[in-house]
A and B are shown apart, each in its own frame.
Chain A
Amino acid sequence: MENATPALFFAGIDIGSTMSKAVVVDAQGTMRGYVVGPTGAEHRRRANKVMEDVLRTAGITLDQVAYIISTGYGRVNVPFADKQVTELTCHAKGVASLFPEVRTAIDIGGQDAKVLKIKNGRLTDFLTNDKCAAGTGRFLEVAAETLGLGLNEMGRISLQSDTPVKINSLCTIFAQQEIISRLSEGQPLTDILAGVYIAVTTRVVKLARQIKVEPPVVFTGGVAKNSGMVKAMEVVLGIPVLIPQEPLITGALGAAILARDEAFKLVQDGHYKSEKKQLSEAYIEFTEKNERKM
C-alpha cells in the first residue's frame, strides 16, 4: 500500500476555543512534529499559521501531506482540511493511540470539559458540559486573575496544602466572590488554591460519573498540565490518572491518525490522486487570498 503513496505524512489540526494545535504523523502513525499556539479571534488565519508552523517543525512541505483532518470548536474554519471530525472522536482516537487500554478519558479545555468512554480504541459514549465555564480552564483563569497569580505558580502553591478550603459555588463568578471572602477571613492561600482545584475537579467528576468512570483513566487538555489540578483529580476520583507527555495535543494527534486511516482508505478505493490535487490547490488559493487581504 505504501508504494502507491507518494506522500507519506498526515496532519491533524485542532482549533480549540483557547488554543490551536497541529500534529503531523507519518505512514506508521508516529508523531513527527507538533505545535501549540493561542487561537485568538481569527480562526482562519490561525489555522493557516499553525499548519505552516507544524510543517516547519516536522521539516516537511505541504506537498508531502496527503490528508488533513480538522477538529475542535473551530474545525469549520480550516479551509484546506479534507475532512472535519468532531473533537470527541479525535480525542478518543488520540488518547487510545497513546494508552491502548484506556477506558475513560477526561479532557478539560479552556471553555469546555468532556468525558469519553473508550473501548478497544473506539469512542462508545461521551458527555460534554457546554452550558457554562464551571469545571473548565476558564474557572482556573478567573481564580488566577483574582489572586494575581500565574497558572503554573498557582498549581505549585496549592500542592503545599493538605486541608483544602471548601468552595461551594458551582458558578464561576460566585466562586470568584467566594475566593475573595475566604481571603478576607484570613484562610491561607495554599488551602484556598487547593480548594479551587477540588471545586473544578468535583464538577467534572460529577459529569464523568453519569457515564461511569472505569480505569484506566487518562486526563488530557491544557488543564492536565497543571500539577495542582492533577493532584485534585486523583484525590476526587480516588484512583491515579495517566497524563500524556503533551496533554494538549491528543485531539490533533487523533485527527492526524484518522487522516492517515482515511487517506489509506482512499488509496484502497482508488480516489487518492484527485483528493491530493484538490487539497494543494485549495491551500495555495487560500494563502494567496489571505496575503492580498493583509
Chain B
Amino acid sequence: MVTATTKGLSRAHEIYANRGRRMRELRKSGKKIIGYICLYPPVEIITAMGMVPFRIFGDMSEPITAADRVSTTVVCPFLRSIIDLGIKGKFDFLDGAVGAHTCDIGMTTIIAWRDYIKDAPFTHLIDVPHTDHAPAVDYFEGQINFFKKHIEELAGEKLDQDKLKQACQLHNKQRKLVRELYDLRKSDPPKLTSMENLEVMVSLFSLPVEEGNELLEEVIKDVKERSIKSSQKKARLMVWGPVFDNTSLYELIESSGADVVVDDTCVGTRAFWADVKAPYDLHALAQRYLVDIKCPRTYRDTQHQETERDYDKDLDSRFSYIKKAVTDWHVNGVILQSVKYCDTHGYEVPNLRHYLDTLGIPSIYIEHDYSERSLAPIKTRVEAFVETLG
C-alpha cells in the first residue's frame, strides 16, 4: 500500500477538485484560454500562440438537466455532460472552444456549443479522417492548417515556427515525464494509486504546459522516495476504454481488492504516449495525432495494401501496444470499460477481448452512463472478476 500523501500530489488533488481556478487567474492576467474536446485538437498550436489549452471534461456528479433541450438522450453521456455544463455556465473562463470529428457526437458537440453556449465565442471544428492511410494524414494536415489560420485571426498575429517548435518540445517533455510517472507503477505494489495518478493527469489538462511539467517533476520526486509495503491486493489490472476523468471508477476497482497499474484511456497513456517528431511542423502534428495516438476512433489499418486479410495479424497490428503494456506492468486482468452508446469503443470490444483471450489475459466488459450512480451495479461484477483472478 502507498503511504503518505506528498506535496505534489496534494496540489494535484486541489487542482483536480477545482479545475477552473488557475484558468480564471490566468485569464485575469490577460491570457486567452482555449478549451478543447477529446485528444485531437493539437494543443501545441494553442501553446505556441501564447494561449492556454484547457481540456474540457464533463462532471459525473452533476445530473444532466439542461442538455436534453439541445441533444438527444441516446448519445454519449460524457459529451452530453459537457454541453450540459456549458449551458449552465460552468466554462465561463474560456475564450474559445475547439472540437474535432473524433466521432460523430464529438463533432455535433462543438456545433451545439457554437449554437447554444454563450461562453467562449470562438469555436472551431477540426475534421479528422478515420484511418491512418497516407492520404488521410495529408488531409488532416490541411485541417490543422485551417485551425492554425483561424486561431491566428483570434490572436491577431501569425504562428511563429520557432514558437511551435518550442511548444512541441514542452509538450513532449510533459509526455516523457508522464511515462516516467507510469514507470513508478510497475513495482508491486505500485508506488502510486490509480486515483492519485488520475488526479495528476486531470491536473495536467488544467494547467499551462510549463506548470504541468513542474507539477510532474515534483510528484515524481516525491513518489520515488515513497517506501512501499508488500501488497495485499490480489490482482494487477489494466483499465481500457474511452475517457474516464473521475476517480470514482478507480476507487471502485481498488476497493475490490485489485491495483490498477496501467490504463489505455485518453486521460492516461493514450494522451501522453506519442511525441511530436522533428521538424515539429504541421505534418509532424498530423502524424502524431492521427497515426501515433492509439484510439479506436482511428482504424489502424496497417495491412491495407495487402489483398489477403489475416485476422490474427490484423489484431496484432491493432493491439500489440496493449500486449506490451500487459507485459511491462505485469497485468493479470483487463477491465474494458465504456460509456454507454460509444460505438467507437463498443465495436472494438469483441476483437480486443479475443486478442486478450489469445494472450491468456482474463478480461471483463462493463458499461456505465457517465454518472456516479451508474457505477454501483458494476461493483459486484468487478469484485467477482477480481475473485476469479485471486
Contact = CB atoms under 8 A, between A and B. Distances in A.
Interface residues of B, number: 8
Contact of B377 (A85, A87, A124, A130): A130
A88 B377 contact: no
A255 to B, nearest CB: 12
A123 B386 CA distance: 11
Interface string A105-145: 00000000000000000111110101000000000000000
A86 B387 contact: yes
B388 A123 contact: yes
Q: Of residues B381, B383, B384, B387, which shows the largest number of chain A Cβ atoms within 10 Å of its Cβ? A: B384
Interface string B85-105: 000000000000000000000
A183 to B, nearest CB: 33
A89 interface: yes
B386 to A, nearest CB: 9
Nearest to B376: A130
B384 A126 contact: yes
Contacts of A122: 388
B377 A89 contact: no
B380 interface: yes
Interface string B369-390: 0000000010011011001100
Nearest to B382: A86
Interface in B275-296: none
A86 B384 contact: yes
A85 B388 contact: no
B388 A124 contact: yes
Contact of B383 (A86, A125, A130): A86
Nearest to B386: A86
A42 to B, nearest CB: 20
Given A88-B381, A123-B388, A125-B388, 15 more contacts: A73-B380, A86-B380, A86-B383, A86-B387, A87-B380, A88-B380, A88-B384, A89-B387, A123-B384, A123-B387, A124-B388, A125-B362, A128-B381, A130-B377, A130-B380
Q: What 9 pairs between A and B have smallest CB-CB spacing?
A: A88-B384, A86-B384, A130-B377, A89-B387, A86-B383, A123-B388, A86-B380, A89-B384, A86-B387
13 contacts: A86-B380, A86-B384, A87-B384, A88-B380, A88-B381, A88-B384, A89-B384, A123-B384, A124-B362, A125-B362, A125-B388, A126-B381, A128-B381
